[in-house]
Chain A
């Protein structure tokens, strides 16, 4: 059973690359794509995917705010931050509840990068299920 994913990024170029990657992995199915923060929240509400990816720098509403809104409505949401920004901004997103992050630039041609990405995805699925058991 494939997991559903919603990809959100203001660059269409990247959306395409990410889509290729997720579908190529065989484990994920891309059910929707968006290009700004408002779309991110709406798409999550509509599709309730197993995973949603957000960029931090987006027009309308930035990644962090979208993250906060999504988690407010759906605390069990699994959000992956994919961003060029490094440092405290990502830390804040993780603190706010994002389950993982991947740094840009995305080097899909690099085998190690792809392997690490997949590992991060794997971690996110297992992390989320731990949370449900109870803390």
Chain B
């Protein structure tokens, strides 16, 4: 007698995605803070807690994104920041290119660790990650629910968004 315990079979609709995101907020917080703190070697602060909604209203000039997906779902992690703030993030670095590199690395690590968690893998399965890409601010897709929040490091605000939806991913650009 086989119980239906195989999780890869479940199809997540909108309600379940919302519930998953809500439950995953603490995990997401841990992943993001850990990534930033380890890579930049500075502490992070949370001026406002992470929340789940359809909107990402981050007033930033730049975004760094890692896209992920498999045959059934697509997800993306966005790091938003103001270009002007970048210098303060890592004062010893003079090369903006390196700092953008660092942001890319942070995005990569957050995506990797969050998507690698068993709590994520169980319902959504394994996903392939894209390398981090940079682009100017554009409105996020209105169809997807996301976790979003702000972390502060070295006085610089980093806007974080993670969204996931059923279906194949569209191109960012």
- Interface on A for B, CB 8 Å cutoff? 10-14, 56-59, 83-89, 104-107, 109
Contacts and interface: CB of A to CB of B under 8 A. Distances in A.
Given A12-B101, A85-B129, 8 more contacts: A10-B131, A10-B132, A12-B98, A13-B98, A14-B105, A84-B111, A84-B129, A104-B108
A13 B126 contact: no
Interface string B30-61: 00001100110100000000000000000000
Given A12-B97, A109-B41, A88 B108 contact: no
Contact of B130 (A12, A57, A86, A89): A57
B113 A84 contact: yes
A21 B66 CA distance: 27
Nearest to B111: A84
29 contacts: A11-B101, A11-B104, A11-B105, A12-B97, A13-B98, A14-B101, A56-B129, A57-B130, A57-B131, A58-B131, A84-B108, A84-B112, A84-B113, A84-B129, A85-B112, A85-B116, A85-B129, A86-B113, A87-B121, A87-B126, A88-B121, A89-B128, A104-B108, A105-B35, A105-B38, A105-B39, A106-B38, A107-B38, A109-B41
Contact of A13 (B34, B105, B130): B105
Contacts of A10: 104, 131-132
B10 to A, nearest CB: 18
A44 to B, nearest CB: 20
Contacts of A106: 38
Contacts of B109: 84, 104-105
A57 B113 contact: no
Interface residues of B, number: 26
B70 to A, nearest CB: 11
Interface string B75-113: 000000000000000000000011001101100110111
Main secondary structure of the interface of B (DSSP, over half): helix
A88 B105 contact: no
B93 to A, nearest CB: 8
Contacts of B35: 105
A13 B112 contact: no
A60 to B, nearest CB: 9
A85 B115 CA distance: 8
B48 to A, nearest CB: 24
A104 B112 contact: yes
A86 B109 CA distance: 10
Contact of B34 (A11, A83, A105): A105
B101 A57 contact: no
Contacts of B112: 57, 83-86, 104
Between A59, A84, A86, the greatest number of chain B beta carbons within 10 A of the residue's beta carbon is seen for A84
Contacts of A84: 108-109, 111-113, 129
